[in-house]
Amino acid sequence: MIECEEVRKSFNNNIVIKNVNLKLNNGEITSLIGRNGAGKSTLINLIVGYYHLDSGRISKNSLSVMPDADNIYSSWTGLEFLSFMSKMKKNKLSEALAMADKLGLTPKIKTKISGYSFGMKKKLSFVQCAIGDYDAYIFDEPTSGVDVPSALVMLDIVKRLKERNAAVLLTSHNIDELERVSD
């Protein structure tokens, strides 16, 4: 579960998040939708702890997050990245590699991430988030820039996290996609 109470954040006296209340329950997929600049990613950054709150309270248990795909170590191979993340999350590398295979990453898994397309980086970032056993998972625009078959696989994996009684937060600009999976 993740709970935000009266969360407020400003940058240079510009209020970006104003008194947000949000509760993400275990066993549910909650989605945030909004135009660019609406504060979705800022709220996620507050939940994760990248930013400090101006006021309010955020409570959470264990959490896995899909960061922006451009923040992945580009000098590593996909295999090195997933191996590192699997060790850090105390997860079997085989689970990450099986998920990567379902998303079509196997042919390039030993290639440096710097050579990956944007969609491939998104898939890799998605895999590192979805592995492990956490109370909550946050996916910030997971399917943006991803081919349709892979996007469907990703949404199926998100549904399985819900079935494991995790709280899931999704953001997207694709309202049809969110309506298909959200509670």
Choose among 26, 31, 58, 49: nearest CA to 134: 26
Q: How do 28-33 and 2-11 pair as beta strands?
A: unpaired
**pLDDT tens digits for the chain (183 residues)?**
999 999 999 999 999 999 999 999 999 999 998 888 888 889 999 999 999 999 999 999 999 999 766 778 889 999 999 999 999 999 999 999 999 999 999 999 999 999 999 999 999 999 999 999 999 999 999 998 999 999 999 999 999 999 999 999 998 888 888 888 999
Angle of CA points 140, 16, 33, to nearest 5°: 35
Q: What is the pTM of this model?
A: 0.93
Task: Quickly count: other Cβ atoms within 10 Å of residue 1's Cβ.
Answer: 15
